[in-house]
Copies of this chain bind each other. A is one copy, B any other.
Amino acid sequence: MSAARPRLRVGLVGAGFSARLHAEAYRQVRGIDVTLARVAAGRPDRARHFAEEFGVESVAGAADEVLGAPDVDVVDLCVPTAIHGRLAVAAARAGKHVIVEKPLTGCFAPPTTPRAEMLRRALADSDAILAACRESGVRLCYAENWVYAPPIQKARRLLAAAGGPILRMVGEESHGGTHAPVNTRWETGGGGSLLGKGCHPLGAALYLKADEGRRLRGRPVRPRAVTAEVARLTDSEGFRAAGRPFLNLVPGADVEDWGMLLVTFDDGTVAQITGGDSTLGGIRNQLAVYGARAVVLCNINPNDSVQAYAPDPAVFGDEYLVEKLETKAGWSAPQPDEDWMTGYPQEIQDFAEALTAGREPLSGAALARDVIAVVYGAYLSAAEGRRVDLTPYLAP
């Protein structure tokens, strides 16, 4: 076994939340010798601490050092979305494969920027990344973990067995407010709930229809049009009058805290996708898939594999229950292994296998770009109050 073990040397840019998730997942890769070769972070002490904790071989002074390091095969960008584009292009030009967290990129501009302009710029930036990868002959791995979440993959297999098209999907990711203040402003986050939360169920929905199309007609089913609405539900007199806010409000936030988009696919079927930062009760990660011959409901979170009850919020101490749950009292649905159920180790395993075997990952460049086209198309739809034809915006 061990003789022929392939090898992958990873350079990490970023040492925060998602870098940690990835590092945990790299540890679990099977059949491939994964080395964390370099890490860089804005705050050097954080990079050092991270390197110690996860056994990274060397701490880089800056991102560019990671990109240029000869002992790095793939650069994993765990940084704010706003710098994805620049770093991804640079990494690709340096001949490195690129792993980029979702969303691929965006438009980072004042909230008054016309949405048509935002759509144009977000796609231009996406295309620059894709072109750089293509030209350098490296692969883009799009870290959309929902593609790898076990319920989504089981849905894919069940639907393939059943045959016939998916007629409709209903997906949602929502919780009580984003982690990162950077994601609450257009200029730094590129959008709100629809981009940051909605991209997950949207990514899974696009993936499932593309997969279905390849199976049933030899080419992916693609999105054709989008209709959307967005709102700042917590920005109202009624909300402010309701007393202590249990939702996670961030001063200065200007992005939507809820959005809903309706994708029509080129085969006439649909997906209803919601992203929310104004939903109490812990994170909801759900995709219902209604097919012509079967139904599959994916409950990534919550599901009832474990149900826990505490008579008092202090009872469970520091033990993790559920992302973004406002109280640890009462009944809750803690995931026994949230990373696994959410697809992180499976995603990294696929990336490692794809990159060492020279094949496309399940979640790659085409999906990354489609998500950008649909989400920014949705922003345009919501702003202008009209359905947006996506045909002009999709890559062929």
Contacts and interface: CB of A to CB of B under 8 A. Distances in A.
Contacts of A387: 229, 385-386
A326 interface: yes
Given A154-B334, A274-B170, A161 B290 contact: no
Contact of A151 (B237, B258, B336): B336
A31 B31 CA distance: 10
Which range holds the interface residue count of chain A?
Answer: 35 or more
Interface in A220-258: 227, 229, 231-239, 241-243, 245-247, 258
Contact of A167 (B172, B278, B316, B318): B278
Nearest to A154: B336
Contact of A316 (B33, B161, B279): B161
Contacts of A290: 276, 278-280
Contact of A295 (B281, B291, B294, B328): B281
What is the count of identical protomers in the complex?
Answer: 4
Nearest to A331: B331
Nearest to A161: B319
A29 interface: yes
Interface stretch (A85-93, A127-135, A306-314): A306-314
B294 A308 contact: yes
Nearest to A164: B242
A272 interface: yes
Contacts of A333: 331
Contacts of A234: 167, 292
Contacts of A260: 262, 270, 272
A167 B233 contact: yes
A311 B327 contact: yes
Contact of A238 (B2, B165, B245, B331): B165
Contact of A311 (B163, B233, B280, B307): B280
Interface stretch (A44-52, A65-73, A195-203, A296-304): A296-304
A280 B306 contact: no
A25 to B, nearest CB: 11
Contacts of A164: 238-239, 241-243
11 contacts: A28-B30, A154-B336, A161-B317, A164-B241, A165-B242, A170-B274, A294-B308, A297-B306, A303-B305, A329-B330, A385-B387
Given A246-B312, A293-B311, A294-B315, 6 more contacts: A29-B30, A151-B306, A227-B385, A297-B307, A298-B306, A303-B303
Interface of A: 1-2, 5, 27-31, 33-35, 55, 150-151, 153-155, 157-158, 160-165, 167-168, 170, 172, 216-217, 227, 229, 231-239, 241-243, 245-247, 258, 260, 262, 264, 267-270, 272, 274, 276, 278-281, 290-300, 303-313, 315-319, 325-337, 340-341, 385-387
